[in-house]
């Protein structure tokens, strides 16, 4: 179904599969309908994670297979490969221009923060490269951009709607404060606990409604953000395991990234979410006659 998976040729096959599976499930009873919806959920999640999944696959495959004596450094290869994935996604209709604009903005914001963080020793990139800014290879910006890519695609694929969503202006100010604190906490008191409290106050009452196939289901928005941040933390462990970057404590050998980093990823999720919502607000809004307190944001 085009309204579920999109309109590109690459997704037409998914639409055909969905229609065939729906006819099969309708003849098998409630359990089959539930199984079909779970499969649709998994497919759409995988589609939304396409960019980030490709980046993780590149990190793993290059760590295992990339020649150490190649004329092109591994980091530069990752940068060029990420750029090729981005161009191919646009050319094949797997990504919209709006989603690409979010990725670009997040790439810039992430790279600026990376340059600062590496300069103060928060983490390091141990390998040499040509395509870099300061101590930061340019592929790192695509790792941040994959978060924005996921949210933007999921927003479209799952037709997000919201109940009791916080005012957009308030979320922007929170995102700005979070971004500034990533820099200032090295020199001033860390405001992280206050930022967590503000996040809970703003997003705690909100619910997100998402459509897998025909019916919108719902969950607490804050829970959704925490779940995504958890998956990012797991992906970060893969990134450090492949030596794409390392924290000072991992200098003498790899071990799991501390669970406390999950909080930092949650705050970064807020920044990414607000960036995507700024783009989503420009889309036409369909009024929901039975729910005046809902918003497509």
Reported as a pLDDT band with limits 50, 70 and 90, residue 291 is very low
Residue 161 domain flag: yes
Whole-number pLDDT of residue 188: 93
List the alpha helices (DSSP H) in the chain: 2-5, 9-26, 30-48, 50-65, 74-91, 97-119, 139-157, 168-184, 192-203, 221-241, 261-280
3-state secondary structure of 172: helix
Report in angstroms the alpha-carbon separations of 208 from 15, 203, 225, 285: 25, 10, 10, 16
Residue 96: CB atoms within 10 A of its CB come to: 17
> Is the pLDDT score of 11 beyond 90?
no
**pLDDT exceeds 90 at position 179:** yes
CA distance 96 to 148: 13
Mean pLDDT of the chain: 84
Tell me if 184 is assigned to some domain: yes
16-69 pLDDT tens trace? 666 676 666 667 667 777 787 788 888 888 888 888 999 999 999 999 999 988
The arithmetic mean of pLDDT across residues 160-183, rounded, is: 94
Distance of CA 282 to the CA centre of its chain: 20
pLDDT, average across residues 220-245? 92
| Phi, psi for 238 (deg, rounded to 5) | -65, -45
Lowest-confidence region among 57-61, 80-84, 103-107, 204-208: 103-107
Does the structure show a pLDDT above 60 at 229? yes
Residue at 152 is within a domain: yes
Residue 97 lies in a domain: yes
Angle at 241 between CA 81 and CA 69, to 5 degrees: 55
Q: Quickly state the pLDDT bin for 13 (edges 50, 70, 90).
A: low
Q: pTM score, two decimals?
A: 0.84
The pLDDT assigned to 289 comes to 32
Work out how many domains the chain is built from and give that number: 1
Does 160 fall in a domain?
Answer: yes
For 75: left if phi > 0, alpha if psi spans -120 to 50, otherwise beta; the answer is alpha
Question: Cα(111)–Cα(117) distance, rounded to whole angstroms?
Answer: 10
- Give how far the C-alpha of residue 155 lies from the chain's centroid of Cα atoms, to the nearest Å: 11
The boundaries of the domain holding residue 198 are 49-295
- State how far the Cα of 291 lies from the Cα of 99, in Å rounded to an integer: 28
- Residue bearing tokens 């809970």: 200
For residue range 112-140, what is the model confidence (pLDDT) as tens digits? Answer: 999 999 898 888 898 889 999 988 999 98
**What is the Cα–Cα distance from 96 to 94, expressed in whole angstroms?**
7
Q: Is 122 exposed, middle or buried (0-12, 13-18, 19+ CB in 10 A)?
A: middle
- For residue 227, tell me if it sits in a domain: yes
Radius of gyration of the chain (CA): 20
Residue 150 has pLDDT above 80, yes or no: yes
Q: Which residue has the tokens 């600026």?
A: 112
Q: Which of 32-46, 88-102, 213-227 has the lowest mean pLDDT?
A: 88-102
Whether the CB-CB separation of 8 and 93 falls below 8 Å is answered with yes
Q: Say if 268 falls within a structural domain.
A: yes
pLDDT band at 12 (very low <50, low <70, confident <90, very high): low
Mean pLDDT, range 169-192, rounded to an integer: 94
Pick the more confident residue, 25 or 211: 211
- 190-204 average pLDDT score: 95
Q: Is residue 27 part of a domain?
A: no
Stated as kind and residue range, the H or E segment containing 137 is: strand 136-137
Instruction: Report the percentage of the chain scoring pLDDT > 70.
Output: 85
pLDDT of residue 292: 39
As beta bridge partners, residue 294 has 163
């Amino acid at each position: 179904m085009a309204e579920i998976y999109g309109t590109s040729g690459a997704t037409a096959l998914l639409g055909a599969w969905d229609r065939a599976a729906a006819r099969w499930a309708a003849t098998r009873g409630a359990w089959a309908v539930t199984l079909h919806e779970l499969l649709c959920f998994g497919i759409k999640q995988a589609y939304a994670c396409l960019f980030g999944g490709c980046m993780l696959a590149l990190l793993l495959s290059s760590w295992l297979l990339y020649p150490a004596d190649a004329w092109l450094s591994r980091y530069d290869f990752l940068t060029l490969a990420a750029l090729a994935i981005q161009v191919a996604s646009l050319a094949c209709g797997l990504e919209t221009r709006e989603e690409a604009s979010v990725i670009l903005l997040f790439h810039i914001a992430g790279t600026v923060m990376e340059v600062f963080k590496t300069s103060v020793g928060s983490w390091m990139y141990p390998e040499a490269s040509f395509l870099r800014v300061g101590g930061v290879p340019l592929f790192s910006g695509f790792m941040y951009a994959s978060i924005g890519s996921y949210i933007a695609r999921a927003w479209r694929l799952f037709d997000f709607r919201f109940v009791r969503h916080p005012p957009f202006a308030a979320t922007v100010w929170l995102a700005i404060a979070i971004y500034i604190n990533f820099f200032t906490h090295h020199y001033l008191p860390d405001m992280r606990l206050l930022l967590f409290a503000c996040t809970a106050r703003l997003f705690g009452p909100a619910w997100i409604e998402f459509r897998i196939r025909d019916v919108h289901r719902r969950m607490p928005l804050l829970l959704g953000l925490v779940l995504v941040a958890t998956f990012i933390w797991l992906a970060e462990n893969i990134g450090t395991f492949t030596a794409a970057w390392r924290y000072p404590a991992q200098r003498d050998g790899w071990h799991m990234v501390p669970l406390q980093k999950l909080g930092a990823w949650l705050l970064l999720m807020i920044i990414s979410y607000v960036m995507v919502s700024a783009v989503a607000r420009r889309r036409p809004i369909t009024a929901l006659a039975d729910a005046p307190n809902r918003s497509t944001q």
